[in-house]
Amino acid sequence: MFKISHQLKIAALIIAVFAAMTSVSFAGSSEEELRHEISYLAKELLDLSGEDSITVEQPAFMKPFIGICSEVLPEGVKLTCITPKHNAAKAGLTTGDLVIAINGIDMTGMNKHDHKNPYYRITKSMKTDEKLAMKLMRNGKPELITVTVGAISHPAYTLIVKKK
């Protein structure tokens, strides 16, 4: 197994971020299209390494999670899906809710492409067991729902990329 240099780690991180964004944009794509995209990104990583093969090992880890899918809109954050049996569902959030504030921070007037907006900062920095007070509009009426941040486990994996 070869050691990954600092520059290669940065490149791998950039590729991983691109892969995550790509998987979101490919939400309606077939499994075969996603496999091709992942294959392309793995080849790019191998080419950047200059090696004949690389092995990347990721141990299992826990990640803060509340169980929502969302879309940032100028009028707030629209909840597009709620994961059954997770904290958002248990707190009473429903698909279609429009979050207009979290912990008193305004969620309106945001640009979905600005990854420095308050919504992205809050979701990236949330910690397990933290309370999020969400002011939302539901059926034209304001509501306040508090969600406790839970956790979701990500399994360990080993990625081996080889030139044939």
Find out whether 142 and 136 touch, Cβ atoms under 8 Å: yes
As a whole number, mean pLDDT of residues 17-37 equals: 58
Provide the pLDDT confidence category of residue 4 given band limits of 50, 70 and 90.
low
When comparing pLDDT for 48 and 26, which is higher?
48
pLDDT at residue number 5: 60
* Pairwise CA distance, residues 49 & 83, whole Å: 38
Can you give the C-alpha Rg of the chain in angstroms?
19
For 81-114, what is each residue's pLDDT tens digit?
Answer: 999 999 999 999 999 999 999 999 999 988 777 7
pLDDT over 90 for what percent of the chain? 43
Q: Residue 119 pLDDT more than 70?
A: yes
pLDDT at residue number 2: 46
Q: How many helices (H) and strands (E) does the chain have?
A: 4, 10
pLDDT over 70 for what percent of the chain? 82
* Pairwise CA distance, residues 15 & 133, whole Å: 34
For 6-21, what is each residue's pLDDT tens digit?
Answer: 555 555 555 554 555 4
- Three-point CA angle 34, 126, 24, nearest 5°: 15
* Pairwise CA distance, residues 152 & 129, whole Å: 12
Which tokens go with 145?
């729902």
Which tokens go with 147?
């969600």
Instruction: Tell me the backbone φ, ψ of residue 4, rounded to 5 degrees.
Output: -90, 125
Q: What's the pTM value of the predicted model, to 2 decimals?
A: 0.63
Give the three-state DSSP class for 150.
strand
**DSSP bridge pairs for 146:** 133
Find out whether 91 and 147 touch, Cβ atoms under 8 Å: yes
